[in-house]
Structure 1
Amino acid sequence: MMSSNRYELVIFDVDGTLMDSLGAISHVVNLSLKELGLPTISHASVGAIVGLSLDAAAQRLLPSATQQTRDQLVALYRQHYKALADANSLDHELFPGVRDTLYELKGRGVTLALATGKSMRGVERMIEEQNFHGLFAAIKTADCAPSKPHPGMLEQALAETAMPPEMALMVGDTDFDLLMANSAGVDACAFPSGAHPRERLAAANPKYWIDAIPQVLDIVSGKR
């Protein structure tokens, strides 16, 4: 039976797309900077690097620092994030409608995947917390591919799911997601949740815009 879906594979970013986590990330980044005796940074400055791997983010945050200092920042971030997560003290949650949208897509026969700057350990924690076991056919992280906007994560997800690029959609909140999609030949959907301003996202020329994750359903069905 032929599918009526416009897209057969939908790949989601995690932080800022599925999870409203910018505040939590900003808090942990600044905890780590303080411990190193470095100036804290604004919420907007943290948003500018959300989506990158930790190593790439540290390079952008501390371009003139030594590699040792950047490595210390990454280690402290991981340490503080894990401690807060273990204590259930991280202020992050799914955006409205995410859970229902994912399961509705799955019910329509759409293959789901993740492409995120988080570590695999961080993604596994999110899946455990949200009871998303078995939902994603491919999970691509900064542990297994170059940092966004390199197309490696999407290329791996396409290969793993045996899906051609023209049948895939990437949904993300940063231009790193959109540029990655462009490089992989995958259509991009921008979700401007706050990390990157609309004008920065627009420069990456996404095919679609949404203001809420459930709107992905209409895109996949061809209604938009």
Structure 2
Amino acid sequence: MQNQKQSTILEISHVSMSYQDGQKKRQILQDVNVSIHAGEFVAIVGPSGCGKSTFLNIAGMMLSGDTGKVILRGEDLSMKKKQDWTAIRRDHIGFIFQNHQLLPFLTAREQLDVVKKANPEKVEQLAQELDLTKIMDHYPSQMSGGERQRVALARAFITDPDVILADEPTASLDSQRGRQAVKMIAMEVHKRNKAAIMVTHDSRVLDLVDIVYQMEDGKLKQVG
């Protein structure tokens, strides 16, 4: 069994971020520290405006904090130039968005191919795992909300990323489909030994994750 240091995939170390709000400086994140290990699915909960989305954007190399480090498999990404961020996101990070962000003019199969030329065998394997085989030639307009979300899951995993970041993945789904979507994320994370972070307001799916963190006043605390 790997020790904790070896199995750490993503580490957020002493990250803080603020912005100017008129005459005042508003602190969004305050010295946030968290490590996510291989095969670990964590959720971050908290009220709107507490810093959850900012945290996710920093973890996904969409934003940089004022201070602190983002370390992926032991490499400090904070030292990378911004022109390198696109390649980092493409090769190492899988995103699942609340509104799917599927391209309307591409079929499910093409959605997976457009991210990165994927191995056809891998596409078929994911399609079977996520129950997509019957809709691979369908366009988003021909899919149900749950089907679109499953295609988004497949797209996030198709590049075999180190980290999965899910932003309110149940927001556009009813409770049953939302729970099924999170179950599928958990299944893929555990099966493929990935690290995953889900930002959510949906307390009904928290039993499906390994660790829950509360974001409040820019600080992150483990729940329970």
Report the TM range for the smaller structure's normalisation: under 0.3
* Higher strand proportion (structure 1 or 2): 2
Tell me the TM-score normalized by structure 1: 0.28
